[in-house]
């Protein structure tokens, strides 16, 4: 797992904005073969489509947290923003790959757009999960981690199927 603890907001936004293109490249040109491969289960028991759906749902939780922290002092946050075990998502692997990629792209872009509205000291604003404070910057860094991890998982899965 990569350490994003020093990632600054502008770099995080760039990283988020490149993810849709990079995931598309990992999946390959959309055709019947690509569609079938994206839905095939890898050795971990999940497909590329399921990986992207899970990342999209997690990014939604992180986006909500980032939005709340950027507007409300000590905003209460969903426990899943800090606990990866709570991020398990039931997914429907029957959706077309292009639709799943579009959902992922929209969510990543929404997080990047939101991040661009947060300025200066507002990055140190915090929300609360239980008795733990989580800053806006921590949430953004976690969003980058989720997106990059999903990309890495898709790349490895697709490579293992070839």
132-160 confidence digits (pLDDT tens): 999 999 999 999 999 999 999 999 999 99
Edge-to-edge strand list for the sheet holding 132-135: 75-76, 126-129, 132-135
Provide the terminal-to-terminal Cα distance of the chain, rounded to the nearest Å. Answer: 24
Q: What is the pLDDT of residues 71-91, one digit of tens each?
A: 888 999 988 888 877 776 666
Q: What is the model's pTM? A: 0.92
pLDDT of residue 90: 62
pLDDT in tens, 32-63: 888 888 999 888 888 999 999 999 999 999 99
Give ∠ CA 90-143-24 in degrees, rounded to 5.
75
Per-domain boundaries in the chain: 9-161
Q: What CATH class is the domain 9-161? A: mainly alpha
């Amino acid at each position: 797992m990569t350490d994003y603890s020093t990632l600054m907001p502008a770099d995080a936004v760039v990283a988020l904005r490149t993810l849709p293109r990079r995931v598309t490249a990992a999946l390959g040109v959309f055709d019947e073969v690509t569609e079938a491969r994206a839905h095939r289960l890898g050795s971990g028991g999940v497909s590329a489509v399921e990986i992207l759906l899970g990342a999209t749902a997690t990014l939604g939780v992180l986006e909500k947290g980032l939005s709340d922290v950027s507007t409300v002092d000590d905003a209460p946050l969903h426990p899943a923003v800090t606990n990866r075990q709570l991020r398990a998502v039931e997914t429907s692997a029957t959706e077309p790959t292009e639709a799943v990629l579009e959902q992922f792209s929209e969510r990543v872009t929404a997080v990047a757009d939101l991040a661009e509205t947060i300025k200066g000291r507002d990055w140190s604003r915090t929300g609360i999960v239980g008795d733990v404070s989580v800053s806006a910057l921590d949430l953004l860094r976690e969003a980058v981690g989720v997106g990059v991890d999903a990309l890495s998982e898709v790349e490895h899965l697709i490579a293992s199927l070839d």
